[in-house]
Structure 1
Amino acid sequence: MINRDKLYIFILILTLFCNCRNRNIEYYKNGNIKEKFLTKKGILKENFDNKKIQIILKQFADIEIDSSTILYFKDIRNQKKQIDIYYKTEHKQIIIQENGLIEREGFIKNGNPIFKWKFYGQTGKLELIRDFVFIKGKPFINQEKYYDSEEELTYRGNGFIEIKHKDTIKLNNEFKAVINLPIPFYKKKKSKIFVCLSKNTIDFNDDFSNEDEIEKVYFYNFNTEQNNKKWITGVNFNHSAVIGRKYNQSGKKLMKGIIYEYLDSSKDSLNSIRKKYFTIPFYVTKNE
Structure 2
Amino acid sequence: MKIVGFYDVGIAYVQHYWQWSHVIHDFCSGLMYLPEHLKNVHVVTLQTNAGYYHTIQWLNFLGYNATVLNLNNQEQVFVKELYFVTGCEHAHSVTIGGIKRLRNVVRNKLNLTTIKPTKYYVFNRVGRNLRQIQNHEQLLEAPNKDVKLPDNQVWHYYAPFIKKIEYAAKFFAHIRAFICPSGSTVYNTIYMQEKTPMLLIFGHFDKPNIQLCLTSNLYMIGITIPLPKNLSANYLVNIPQAVTLAKKIVYCSEHGHWDNTLGLVHAVTKGDYNFDPIIDVPMKN
TM-score range, shorter chain: under 0.3
User: Which structure's relative contact order is higher, taking Cα pairs within 8 Å and 6+ residues apart?
Assistant: 2
Q: TM-score, normalised by structure 1?
A: 0.24
Q: TM-score, normalised by structure 2?
A: 0.24
Greater Rg over alpha carbons, structure: 1
Give the number of the structure whose residues are more often strand, by fraction: 1
